[in-house]
Amino acid sequence: MDARLEVPIEVRELALAGIDNAEKALVLFFDHATKSIGPNSADAVALVKRVIAVKMDYARKVARSSDLSEATSLQFAYCKAQVEITTDLIRIVSEYSDRASGPVGAWRFLNESATAAAIFPPKKPY
């Protein structure tokens, strides 16, 4: 079995253009969203921006990958970045929880902040 990803250059370019357009739209979205939220949510918005940047970088690299081994390696790096981001989210929630009088404050923080799950809800199974 050949592990090369035989994808026409036109298809790769179309994928990359779509990724670029999605990223531009999300940058605009978060520029406007950031202006409408309180300063307590700045860390959460920065984290969501970071999540999006990691996803866009991953998508670009996959669109350019030439074989399954490279794509698998990219998936591993992407998962590692997601773990790092989740660790930062735990730190942010913990710090806010300490400032906002325990777990109730952390719950309020999560409900008031822009989270990846709220912006990108999980897809329903087929």
What's the per-residue H, E or C state across the chain? CCCECCCCHHHHHHHHHHHHHHHHHHHHHHHHHHHCCCHHHHHHHHHHHHHHHHHHHHHHHHHHCCEHHHHHHHHHHHHHHHHHHHHHHHHHHHHHHHHCCCHHHHHHHHHHCCCHHHHCCCCCCC
> Per-residue pLDDT for 119 more than 50?
no
CA 45 to chain centroid, in Å, comes to 11
> pLDDT confidence of 126, banded at 50, 70, 90?
very low
Q: What is the dihedral of CA 125, 51, 105, 121, to 10 degrees?
A: -20
Q: Write down the pLDDT at residue 25.
A: 94
3-12, 14-23, 116-125 — which is least confidently predicted? 116-125
- Tokens for 106? 């952390």
Above 80 in pLDDT, residue 121? no
Q: Residues 59-116: pLDDT tens digits?
A: 999 999 999 999 999 999 999 998 998 888 888 778 777 666 555 555 555 555 545 5
23-40 residue pLDDT tens: 999 989 988 888 887 666
Which pLDDT does position 2 carry in this prediction?
A: 58
| 100-115 pLDDT tens trace | 655 555 555 555 554 5
